[in-house]
Amino acid sequence: MERPSLPFFYEPSTRTRTSFEIAAKRLSADTINIAASTSSYVKGETLKDTAKTLEAMKPDVTIIRHSMPGAPHMLARFVDSSVINGGDGAHEHPTQALLDLFTMREKKGTLDGLKIVIIGDIIHSRVARSNIFALRHFDAEIVCCGPPTMLPPHLEDLGVQPEHNLEKAVRNADVIMMLRIQKERGGVAYIPSIKEYSTMFGLRKEHVNKAKKDVIVMHPGPMNRGVEIMDDVADGPSSVILDQVENGVAVRMAVLYLLLGREI
């Protein structure tokens, strides 16, 4: 890869950005990282113009993280290079879902027949959406758990079973995926208080004990310890949270490799 890929972040991101940068570097690609706070965005330039400007520098791949749904799709209309969605608002986070499924399969051998429970602020979660879209391709049971205000209507249409009781939701689960409350998307207004949320939907050891013995606990990060997940779970034997991070680099390397037309 002679030409650079251009990560481009319109929303704060540490994990995803670093992961993409390391992935690109391991493939010997040059990367340039432009964050929204330092870009022309803050000077009032539109995404379209920023996209065209970046395009003029002829990157192979542009990776975008943006707070608004559909921004990568818009970018893709204006540039010729490949565009990777690094997370767009409450819409999608496709590489996160890929690394999550990769991790599940790594630990479980298969995705078929698994009971996968996603818990938290589903309505605002791009991670939940992308995971649901991906998991629908497999014969897995998908349960979404959270307070009614955080579960969007029509979830059943996607083959997802909504559940409001955490204890019931985790029973016999193979995979528990915790999500944080999306404060930046107004998530806090959907619950009376963080304290009450934590009492009702925070994952504790006793919940993990109700799941299958070999359950894995996942979290896309960043975690709010003591809110949606307790220390003893986050750092406990079932946690694969750091494996997710590690796998993220490999999966993103694969995505970049394939997008650049290399064959495996």
Partner 1 sequence: MSILIKNGRVIDPRSGLDGILDVFINGDLIEEIGRPLSRGGKGVEVIDAGGHIVAPGLIDVHAHLREPGYEWKETIRTGTMAAVKGGFTGIACMANTNPVNDNKSVTDYIVTKARSEGMCRVFPCGAITKNLKGEELAEIGEMVEAGIRAVSDDGKSVKNSGILRKALEYAKLFNIPVISHCEDEDLSRGYVHEGRASLLSGLDAVPGIAEEIIVRRDITIAAYVDSPIHLTHISTAGSVNAIRQAKKNYKEITCDTCPHYFSITDEATLGFDTSTKVNPPLRSRDDVEAITEGLRNNTIDMIATDHAPHEDTSKDVEFDIATFGISGLETALALSLGLVHQGVLTLHELFRKLTINPAKLLGLPYGEVKAGKTADIIVFNPGIEWTVDKNSFFSKGKNTPFHGRKLKGKNLLTIVDGKIAYRDPSFKG
User: Which stretches of the chain bind partner 1, using CB under 8 A?
Assistant: 46-48, 66, 68-71, 73-74, 88-92, 126, 129, 152-155, 157-158
Residue 16 annotated as catalytic: yes
Task: Report the nearest approach of partner 1 to the CB of residue 69 (Å).
Answer: 4
Task: Report the nearest approach of partner 1 to the CB of residue 1 (Å).
Answer: 29
In DSSP terms, which residues pair with 6 in a beta bridge? 62
Report the candidate in 91, 44, 99 with the shortest Cα–Cα distance to residue 66: 91
Interatomic CA distance for residues 90 and 155, integer angstroms: 15
Residue 15 annotated as catalytic: yes
Interatomic CA distance for residues 10 and 41, integer angstroms: 8
The catalytic residue among 16, 31, 95, 103 is 16
The catalytic residue among 17, 31, 62, 65 is 65
Within its chain, how far is the Cα of 174 from the centroid?
A: 19
Query: Rounded to 5 degrees, what angle do the CA atoms 10, 12, 18 make?
Result: 100
Number of Cβ atoms within 10 Å of the Cβ of 231: 11
Residue 65 annotated as catalytic: yes
Residue 129 annotated as catalytic: no
Residue nearer to partner 1 on the CB measure, 90 or 233: 90
* Residues across the chain: 264
Residue 168 annotated as catalytic: no
Residue nearer to partner 1 on the CB measure, 26 or 48: 48
Task: Report the nearest approach of partner 1 to the CB of residue 96 (Å).
Answer: 14
Residues serving a catalytic function are 15-16, 43, 65, 93
